[in-house]
Amino acid sequence: MDDQGQALHDFCRELFPICRSITGDGVRETLRLISKRIPIDVHEVPSGTPVFDWEVPAEWNIREAFIERLNGERVVDFADSNLHVVSYSTAIDEVLTRDELNGHLHSLEDFPDRIPYRTSYYSPTWGFCLSHHQRQTLQDDAYRVRIDSTHSQGSLTYAELFLPGREQQELLISTHTCHPSLANDNLSGLSVATRLAELLAEDARANGPARYGVRFIFIPGTIGSITWLAQNRSTLDRIASALVISGVGDGGRATFKVSRNGNGIIDRAFGRATIAHGGSVRPYLPYGYDERQFCSPGIDIPTGCLMRTPYGEYDAYHSSADDLQLVTPAGLHDTLRICVEALNEIQRSPRFINLAPHCEPQLGRRGLYDTLGGNNEAKNLQLALLWMLSYSDGTHTLADIAGLSGIEDPVLERAAELLTSADLLEARP
């Protein structure tokens, strides 16, 4: 078995038992384990803090929860699975009739052995999730229900790691910390992002800073990205492009969803790397993970999302079937390889600057048309010259221009050589 993939899977296994939500001690414990691998900075944003049109919610923590018969026999116990309680449930300790209890139960008739994952972050209520088979055994007239949870004026916790680059602009990589024992959603993203940060930090120590700085953020979904953006709005113009990593460990092929405008540095490189690994590229959809916050019109950071089987398209999604069997070492490692290859292209591929950018330069008097002659091969090279001149703006790599033009890399490389020799292009490392 691949060592890198197994190490990624082992980290998922280490994180799996922790009860996470959008706030609380489970998030802090998760970040503590990540901090043993990479030097993250942890931030606490107080409950009640305004963040754009939202507000940081009260902090939620839970200690115990169960449903038991009146004789004391427990039939549902949070200690057996932290999916058993609807996340952010309010506290309760009462005896209820079966009918009263039933309105607070969630199960999956189509998958009767699975426990669903449900949340109620912004509507105060309580509930239990259980398998449908368990639910069918609840035939007593009354049950004792207890949820020992708190909603307090605490904080929302997130972490970040910044690796400086040679240029001021940054790439942002985001992953989620908010789901409990779900291995693909979120633990696969946490594992891959943590290892990716380790590898980039090792490379920086060995070879010096890369072109762009890279900022990793570990945040709860939706409210985490909104909070991070609100807290950092004065420096958002430094972020050239961003990536959300989530649901990247299952056995499906990789999927990359492009940003709202589809024109980010990450869009191009990750789209190519995903296809090279047998995956697919999808258009933007304003539903999903935090890409929809980063891509919102007032923020407008070109942000793609890297997944394997997309959210909601595998039947284990948001249920107890999203376990450590669903996530594979091979899937995790393949995702990591896509990330490394795409970022290497972004950071290391030369970009060219057109030194005569005001209209098309006269190629004939520089001998380039004479060099080309009149055959089809020469015409292809002439077109490559024009593509290179048009897109040598300091942001496009040769691979970018090849993707846009359909011209093969060797022809573009020859065109770049000719234009550089004629002092019309300059390569920027």
Instruction: Over range 139-166, report the average pLDDT.
Output: 98
Report residue 372's pLDDT band, with 50, 70 and 90 as the boundaries: very low
CATH architecture, domain 3-57+155-348: 3-Layer(aba) Sandwich (3.40)
Pick 400 or 194 by higher pLDDT: 194
Residue 170 CA to residue 51 CA, distance in Å, equals 23
Per-residue pLDDT tens for 343-356? Answer: 999 998 888 999 99
The rounded percent of the chain whose pLDDT value lies above 90 is 85
Residues 156 and 45: beta-carbon distance below 8 Å: yes
Instruction: Give the H or E element holding residue 229.
Output: helix 223-231
The amino acid sitting at 36 is K
Rg of the chain over all Cα atoms, to the nearest angstrom: 26
Residue 203 CA to residue 198 CA, distance in Å, equals 9
Instruction: Over range 370-391, report the average pLDDT.
Output: 76
Rounded to 5°, the CA angle 358-346-276 comes to: 115
Q: Which CATH code fits 351-428?
A: 1.10.10.10
| pLDDT number for residue 211 | 94
Residues 179 and 249: beta-carbon distance below 8 Å: no
Residue 45 CA to residue 185 CA, distance in Å, equals 24
| pLDDT number for residue 79 | 97
The amino acid sitting at 206 is A
pTM: predicted TM-score of the whole model, two decimal places:
0.91
| pLDDT number for residue 90 | 98
Q: What is the DSSP letter of 365?
A: G
Rounded to 5°, the CA angle 150-153-157 comes to: 90
Instruction: Give the H or E element holding residue 351.
Output: strand 351-354
Give CATH 3.40.630.10 domain extents, the chain.
Answer: 3-57+155-348
Q: How many helices (H) and strands (E) does the chain have?
A: 13, 19
> What is the topology classification, in CATH, of domain 60-152?
Glucose Oxidase; domain 1 (3.50.30)
Per-residue pLDDT tens for 161-189? Answer: 999 999 999 999 999 999 999 999 989 99
Give CATH 3.50.30.90 domain extents, the chain.
Answer: 60-152
| pLDDT number for residue 375 | 56
3-class SS at 157? strand
Instruction: Over range 240-254, report the average pLDDT.
Output: 97
For residue 26, is pLDDT > 90? yes
Residue 324 CA to residue 175 CA, distance in Å, equals 19
For residue 32, is pLDDT > 90? yes
